[in-house]
Structure 1
Amino acid sequence: MRRTHVVAAVSAVALLAAACAGRPAPVTEVVAPGTSVAAATASRSAGPSPSSTGPTPAPIASLGPGEGTVSVVAIDGYAEWGGVDPKVKWVGAFEKETGCKVSLRYYDPRQEEKPGDFPPSSFDVISATPEVGGRLMNEGKAAPLNTALLHGYDKLPKRLRTLPSVTRDGRTYGVPYVWATNEVLYDTGEVSPGGLESLFEDKGPVLLRDRPLSLADAALVLRAGGAKIKDPFDLTDAQLDAAAELFTSGKKGRHVFWRDPVEVVQGFATGSVRLAQATPYHLDVLRRGHKPVSALTDRPVTGWADAWMVSAQAAHPSCAYKWLGFTMSADVQRRAAAWTGLAPANPGACTGAARRICADYHAGTSRAFRGVYFAVRPEAYDKWVDRWSRIVA
C-alpha cells in the first residue's frame, strides 16, 4: 500500500511532535541486553509455516520455575529495554524478577502478513493487533490460555477480556494490553462538522488512518443512513463495496492517509488538514500545543485492543506465562501507556505517568467503552485488504 505523506513539520511543530512521540520508527530486530543477535535470530525458521499447526492444544495446567529464557515478538514501543531512551525500560525488570532472559524482536503491525508468517516455533509470546491475533487463532498458531495461572487477570475489564479478538469457541487466547478509540478531530476555526459522516463529505482535506479496518468507520456511516449493519466489522460484499465507495467518491485528493501518529499533529499544526480520524491522545497533545482542535462526541465509534498471545509451540511456556503476568501488571501497563499514548487495559495503571492518558480515554470509568465497536479480524479480511489497496493506490 502506498503511504500518503503529510506536509513536513516546520519548527513550530517540533514541540508538538515531541509531545506526541511514543514510538520511534519501526525496526526489524532488537535484542535485549545479555542476548546475542545470533541467539535471537537462530530461532527463526527459514520459511513460512503451514496454514494450520494441527489440533488446538489444551491450555497448560501448571507452571514450572521457568526455562531461563523467553522469545518475545513485540510491536515497537510495547516492550522497552532502554534502547531508545535509557529512562524507558521495563524488560530488564522482568529478567531480574523472573530469571527469564528476554530475546526481543520488534515487528511493524502495518505489514501484518509478516508476523502472521512467523512460524509458531520461532517465538514464545507476541503482542498482537486484532488483525494479527485473528490470523494466529485462525491458523492454530496461538495457544489457548489457562487464565487461572495469571494472578490478577480477573481485575481486567470484562469487556476487554471477552472481546472476539482474544477469544474463540469459549477459550481465551490473549491478555489485553493497551486499547484506543478512533475519534473525529476537527479544526474549530475551519469547520463545524455534523457527525462521523463529515469524514466523507467534500470538505477536505481529511486525514484518515491507513488501515483496512478503517472501512468499519464508513460502515457506521452507512448504518446511520439506514443500512442493516449490526457489526461494522462484519459486512456483506455489497456493504463492503458501499463502504469503500465513501472513500473514493467526491473530490479527488480530499482524503490523505496517515500511519505515523505524529502526522496527525503535523497536519493540524500546519493547517494542512481540517478533519482527521485520530485518538483522544492526539486531541490532548494538540490542545496542550494551543491548537484550536476539538472532537466530536457522537457515538458509536470504532476502537481496537492489542493483546499478548502465547505461541501454540512455545518452547518456554513457563517464562511465557511469567511474561503475560508481568505485562498485565499495573506498573508495566502504566509505563506502556505513558510511552505509547494508548490506554492501559489494567485500570490500576491509571496513576502517575499514565493518569493523563487514562483521563483522555476515560479509562477505568463507566464511559470508557460506551458506544465502542472494538475491532476484530473480519472473516473476509483479504477482501478488506483488497478494497483498501484500491482506495490508497
Structure 2
Amino acid sequence: MKSSLKVIGTLAVAALALAACGTSSGGGSAAGTLKESIGAGEGQVSILGWPGYVEDGSNDPKVDWVTPFTAETGCKVNFKPFGTSDEAVTLMRTGQYDVISASGDASLRLIAGGDVQPVNMSLLKNYPDVYPFLKDKAWNTVDGKNYGMPHGWGANLLMYRTDKVTPAPTSWGSVFDGASSFSGKVTAYDSPIYIADAALYLMKHKPELNIKNPYALDKDQLAAAVALLKDQRKHVGEYWNDVVKEVQSFASGTSVIGTTWQVGANIAKADGAKVETLLPSEGATGWSDTWMIGAKTKNSNCAYKWLDYIASPKANAAVAEYFGESPANPKACALTTDKNFCETYHSGDASYASKIWYWTTPIAKCLDGRTDATCTDYSEWTKAWTEIKG
C-alpha cells in the first residue's frame, strides 16, 4: 500500500492535463490507413500518462518497468505525467507526445480531434489476452476502428465512515437526495464527468427522464442532473481530485461519505480509518484507460512496442499493483506480489464490470443510439460544472 500512496501522492503535484500525439512516419501509417508491420525502434518514445503508469525506478528503485522496456526495444522513454483528463487532452494537442494513457472522458475527444490514430491490434501479440469486456467499447473504438490498447480499470465507489454513517448505505441516494443527513461532510469527485454520476442515479430513480446512458444527455436531461448536483452542492464539504487528501479527510472526519477509488479505500484502511466501500444498487461510473498513439508521431514503431509491452503480463501486473487498479490482462494476476490483489480489485469479474458505466466523453451524437435528438457535449458539461460549483 505504501507504493500506491506514493503514486497517488504524485497525483497531487502532477500537471492537470491529458495530451495528444501526432501521425506516423518512420514506418508509420498515413491518415486513414493502418500500420502493416512494426519495424525497428526509432530509439525514443515520448509518453503522457497518469502518475504511476510509467515508472523507471526514480520514485522507487524497486518499481521499474521502463528500464526493461528500453533494454528490450532500444526505445528510450521520455515521460510526462498529468493530473486530469482535461490537462491530458490539452497536452496531447501540442503534438509533442507519441503515446498517451487516455481515460474514457478524454479518448473520444482525442479521436474526434484527429489527435490519435487507429491502431492495428493484430500487430500487438498481447491483445488477444485482454479481458473481452474491455474490447471494442465506445471509449476505445469508433466506426469499427480500434484506437488503442486497453489498460487498467476500476469503479468509482461509495465510501463511508462506519462509525458515522448508520445504517450502512446501499444507494447513491445517500449523497444525493439523502445528502442533508451528512451536510457539510459529503465529498464528490471534482470534474465535469461527475455529472454522469448524477445522471446514473436519475436513470434509476426518475425513469420519466428516459436516460438510457449517463453520458448521453440531451438538454433537458442535463438540466435535471445539474439541478440534482446543485442541491447536493449545499451539503458538499469538499470536492476532490487528490485521493491522498480525500483519505485524510475521511480519517479526520471532515468527510464521512462520498465517492472514492478502491486504492483510496485501501490506503484509508491501512491507516486505521473506519471506512467501508460498496458498489451501490444503481451501479457506478468508472474508468477503463486506453493506451493511444498520436496521429503525427514520428516514433510509431516504438509507440507500438510500448502498447504491446505495457499489456504484457509482467508489466501489466506491476502497473496495476503499483497504481491500484485491475489489470487488463488476466495473466497478470499470477504475477502480482499480493496474491489476493485481483480478487480485491474484481479482476475478471464480468458481472461486476457490467455494473460499471465507464467514463466516456459526452458528444453531440447521442451515445445511446438516439437519432432524433442532439446530446450535450463535454464543453456544455464543463460550463455546467462551473455553474454547479458556483
Q: Above 0.5 in TM-score?
A: yes
The one of 102, 124, 131 aligned to 2:98: 124
CA contact (8 A) 1:150 1:325 kept: yes
- Distance change >3 Å, CA 219–CA 355, structure 1 → 2: farther
- Distance change >3 Å, CA 102–CA 291, structure 1 → 2: closer
CA shift, 1:299, in A, is 3.9
Q: Does 1:385 align with 2:382?
A: yes
Q: Does 1:107 align with 2:87?
A: no
Matched residue, 2:27: none
Amino acid of the structure 1 residue aligned with 2:159: L
Matched residue, 2:228: 246
Matched residue, 2:53: 78
SS at match of 1:103: strand
Matched residue, 2:191: 211
- Distance change >3 Å, CA 159–CA 339, structure 1 → 2: same
CA shift, 1:344, in A, is 1.3
Alpha-carbon distance in 2 for matches of 1:251, 1:80: 37
Amino acid of the structure 1 residue aligned with 2:38: L
CA shift, 1:233, in A, is 0.8
Q: Does 1:301 align with 2:284?
A: yes
- Distance change >3 Å, CA 150–CA 188, structure 1 → 2: same
The one of 56, 66, 73 aligned to 1:98: 73
SS at match of 1:382: helix
- Distance change >3 Å, CA 83–CA 273, structure 1 → 2: same
Matched residue, 2:348: 364
SS at match of 2:181: coil
CA shift, 1:132, in A, is 2.2
1:220-258 per-position Cα deviation (integer Å, ceiling 9, x unaligned): 111122231110111111111211221221673434211
Q: TM-score w.r.t. structure 2 length?
A: 0.84
Q: Does 1:57 align with 2:32?
A: yes
Q: Which moved more, 1:220-229 or 1:326-335?
A: 220-229
Q: Which moved more, 1:321-330 or 1:71-80?
A: 71-80
Give the alignment of 1:181-192 within 5 angstroms: 181-191=155-165, 192=167
CA contact (8 A) 2:121 2:148 kept: no
The one of 20, 32, 57 aligned to 2:5: 20
- Distance change >3 Å, CA 302–CA 390, structure 1 → 2: same
Q: Does 1:224 align with 2:204?
A: yes
Alpha-carbon distance in 1 for matches of 2:32, 2:201: 41
CA shift, 1:296, in A, is 3.2
- Distance change >3 Å, CA 151–CA 194, structure 1 → 2: closer
Alpha-carbon distance in 1 for matches of 2:48, 2:273: 37
Q: Does 1:196 align with 2:172?
A: yes
CA contact (8 A) 1:26 1:76 kept: no
Alpha-carbon distance in 2 for matches of 1:266, 1:363: 27
Q: Does 1:155 align with 2:155?
A: no
Q: Does 1:178 align with 2:152?
A: yes
CA shift, 1:365, in A, is 2.8
Q: Does 1:256 align with 2:238?
A: yes
CA contact (8 A) 2:7 2:51 kept: no
SS at match of 1:331: helix
CA shift, 1:292, in A, is 2.6
Q: Which moved more, 1:350-359 or 1:298-307?
A: 350-359
Alpha-carbon distance in 1 for matches of 2:233, 2:15: 38
Q: Does 1:331 align with 2:314?
A: yes
1:333-378 per-position Cα deviation (integer Å, ceiling 9, x unaligned): 1111122112211122123235444222210233441311111100
Amino acid of the structure 2 residue aligned with 1:316: N
Alpha-carbon distance in 2 for matches of 1:158, 1:114: 27
Alpha-carbon distance in 1 for matches of 2:351, 2:386: 34
Unaligned runs of at least 5 residues, structure 2: 23-29, 364-376
- Distance change >3 Å, CA 170–CA 70, structure 1 → 2: same
Matched residue, 1:5: none
Q: TM-score w.r.t. structure 1 length?
A: 0.83
Amino acid of the structure 2 residue aligned with 1:100: C
- Distance change >3 Å, CA 174–CA 355, structure 1 → 2: farther
CA shift, 1:97, in A, is 0.5
Alpha-carbon distance in 1 for matches of 2:218, 2:349: 34
SS at match of 2:160: strand
Amino acid of the structure 2 residue aligned with 1:312: A
Alpha-carbon distance in 1 for matches of 2:232, 2:130: 44
SS at match of 1:57: coil
